[in-house]
Amino acid sequence: AGALRELVSPKMSQEILFRAGRRWGERQAQRDGLVDSPMELPTRVEQALRRLSARELGQVCIEHIDLLAPPGQPLVRARVGNPAEPAAGPEGHQRDAPGGVCSLPTGFLTGYTQVMTGRDLTCTPLDCSTCVSGQGVAFSIQSAADAPQAAGPAPSGSSRFFLRSLGQGLGEGSISLGDIVENTADAIVLFDRNAHIRFWNRGAEELFGCPQEAVSGKSFDRFVPPDLVASGELEWIEDKIEQDGALRNFLTRRVRSDGEERWVTLTRTVLHDSLGDVVGSTAILRDVTEQRRAEDELTRARGLALLGEVSAQVAHEIKNPLAGIYGAIQILMGNHSEDDPQREILENICEEVHRLDETVQDMLRYARPLPPKVIQVDLGDFLRQIGSRPTVQELLGGTALVVELPEDLVALIDPRLMDQTFTNLILNAAQAMDGAGTIRATGTQVEREVALVLEDDGPGIEAQDLEKITQPFFTTKSRGTGLGLPIAQKNVEAHGGKLQIESEVGRGTRVLISLPAGRQT
């Protein structure tokens, strides 16, 4: 006690002694073993307290004991005298001197009672006038849920009771609360009063990709995205927990040490010592990135399904009137000679009607995709046939299509749907390069999947456009429906595959396609 007074503050020295006493009481209870009958509990507690008196650590006088007390009632009410270092408190109350030994037996009694009852307990100071004798330091031991707000939470007696019931008590088994906290999958972080990291479990190491020794004693700000720091999120969190004591299941983003952002739910709780003083806070972070992606994908799928229904309805309403307009113009053109200027006007109208009809057909293909009828197709030969067509050659212009696929790279595809898909992707790349560049097709088979890559050396796609490029009706062209890539993606997914687009401005674009393999490796 004397050494503690020289090293730390009075409150801290009392806290250390209390915790040491509580741990001593827990271990003593574990050595004594559980009682056969609840009626033996008071006798067992009194026997344990006599050990304290024998060691001259203070006389504990129990004024009231009922270890089966219902919620809302104290289990123990007692006082501890400190014959070694008495100190008079206000109004004649006897208090222990700063760093005195009274906190040790108080903690001992709390820990011993907690293990014996298997309840989550806390120790609360009392006015000495509430005790019969009115001397010494008065306190009560009660369930943590019934304690006044100022009292700090006791260690979890319920956790100890649970482990003890499995035959693995904390003092004698192979499992400890420390093991549980250290090895839980969620990230658990302990902050001191200055918001510096003091504890960082394995879950935190995995989530943030950073070991504890690299973050201990440092600020957590480095793991918060800059935009959230600028928005004042950290200050809002601190104000929230200071006001309410806790922040629960707050959805936000955090940054790993490698720069990757992850979605997390955050629970922050103020941490008190046994005297009720704030000593820091805890944070529990759960990685919900994959769940968030699944939810976003579900929302996207619902939106696309609704858009498909609307597109089908619009296409149906437009298709028949377009057919009537086109037929009427054909009749009118028959009344004009080849060199009649009005005939040229009618021909232009026919071209625009034809373009509108293609848009309607795209909307119907997107809204009502046909199920694929798959056969085994050699992808190398298939792509070369597409590139050799006169219509495709004309649109490619000076763009070269280089197919570098291994022989016998076979996929299970519907030739009609994938012809449409590959043609669209090839022509998109050619238009992006303005008819001057190279489109390279490479691929391989990995187990039951064919991985195909279409890569160009064009200007690339801006990051903000890349996020929207597979959304229906999004286009950067002056003319176009914005349905080409969405239809291509739907066609690939209808085969059970995936289509992904990677691009960097100035370094070209890569389209990654996975399809079911036609042959087993």
Instruction: Check if the beta carbon of residue 206 is closer than 8 Å to that of residue 190.
Output: no
Stretch 470-491: mean pLDDT: 78
pLDDT confidence of residue 513: 94
- Out of 287, 320, 354, pick the residue that ends a domain: 287
> Nearest 5°: phi and psi at 457?
-110, 40
Residues 18 and 138 placed together within one structural domain of the fold: yes
Instruction: Flag whether pLDDT at 412 surpasses 90.
Output: yes
**What's the CA gap between 182 and 173, in Å, rounded?**
17
pLDDT confidence of residue 268: 93
Q: What angle do CA 378, 422, 467 make, to 5 degrees?
A: 130
pLDDT confidence of residue 433: 86
pLDDT confidence of residue 131: 43
In a domain? residue 263: yes
Which of 24-28, 60-64, 443-447 has the largest mean confidence? 443-447
Residues 200 and 313 placed together within one structural domain of the fold: no
**What's the CA gap between 494 and 491, in Å, rounded?**
5
Residues 110 and 153 placed together within one structural domain of the fold: yes
Residue burial 95-106, b: 16+ Cβ < 10 Å; e: rest: bbebbbbbbbbb
pLDDT confidence of residue 167: 41
Assign residue 148 the CATH number of its domain.
3.30.1380
Helix (H, G, I), strand (E, B) or coil at 334: coil
Q: How confident is the model at residue 160 (pLDDT cuts 50, 70, 90)?
A: very low
Residues 51 and 120 placed together within one structural domain of the fold: yes
Segment 86-133, tens digit of pLDDT: 333 333 333 333 333 467 778 888 888 887 777 777 777 765 554 444
**What's the CA gap between 401 and 411, in Å, rounded?**
20
In a domain? residue 469: yes
Assign residue 252 the CATH number of its domain.
3.30.450.20
Residues 235 and 261 placed together within one structural domain of the fold: yes
Q: How confident is the model at residue 521 (pLDDT cuts 50, 70, 90)?
A: low
Q: How confident is the model at residue 341 (pLDDT cuts 50, 70, 90)?
A: confident
Residues 359 and 279 placed together within one structural domain of the fold: no
Tell me if the pTM is above 0.85: no
Instruction: Flag whether pLDDT at 390 surpasses 70.
Output: yes
- Mean pLDDT over all residues of the chain? 78
In a domain? residue 494: yes
In a domain? residue 174: no
Residues 61 and 159 placed together within one structural domain of the fold: yes
Element (H, E) at 159: helix 157-165
- Out of 287, 312, 332, pick the residue that ends a domain: 287
Query: Strands 449-456, 59-65: parallel, antiparallel or unpaired by DSSP?
Result: unpaired
Assign residue 442 the CATH number of its domain.
3.30.565.10
Element (H, E) at 267: strand 261-272
Residues 216 and 123 placed together within one structural domain of the fold: no
Instruction: Check if the beta carbon of residue 376 is closer than 8 Å to that of residue 518.
Output: yes
Segment 452-466, tens digit of pLDDT: 999 998 888 888 888
pLDDT confidence of residue 133: 45
Percent of the chain past pLDDT 90, that is, above it, reads 23
Residues 242 and 308 placed together within one structural domain of the fold: no
Lowest-confidence pick of 13-27, 85-99, 225-239: 85-99
In a domain? residue 178: no
Residues 308 and 403 placed together within one structural domain of the fold: no
Instruction: Flag whether pLDDT at 216 surpasses 80.
Output: yes
* Alpha carbon distances (Å) from 228 to 208, 232, 283, 291: 17, 6, 17, 21
- Out of 268, 287, 306, pick the residue that ends a domain: 287
Lowest-confidence pick of 301-305, 420-424, 493-497: 301-305
Instruction: Flag whether pLDDT at 511 surpasses 90.
Output: yes
Query: Strands 278-287, 59-65: parallel, antiparallel or unpaired by DSSP?
Result: unpaired
Instruction: Flag whether pLDDT at 174 surpasses 70.
Output: no
In a domain? residue 349: yes
Residues 9 and 141 placed together within one structural domain of the fold: yes
Domain count, the chain: 4
Helix (H, G, I), strand (E, B) or coil at 511: strand
pLDDT confidence of residue 158: 37
Instruction: Flag whether pLDDT at 156 surpasses 50.
Output: no
Residues 127 and 19 placed together within one structural domain of the fold: yes
In a domain? residue 173: no
**What's the CA gap between 359 and 412, in Å, rounded?**
29
Write out the residue range of the structural domain in which residue 345 sits: 292-367
In a domain? residue 172: no
Instruction: Flag whether pLDDT at 164 surpasses 70.
Output: no
Lowest-confidence pick of 147-156, 404-413, 471-480: 147-156
Q: Which two tokens stand for residue 412?
A: 């299970």
Distance between alpha carbon 125 and the CA centroid of its chain, in Å?
41
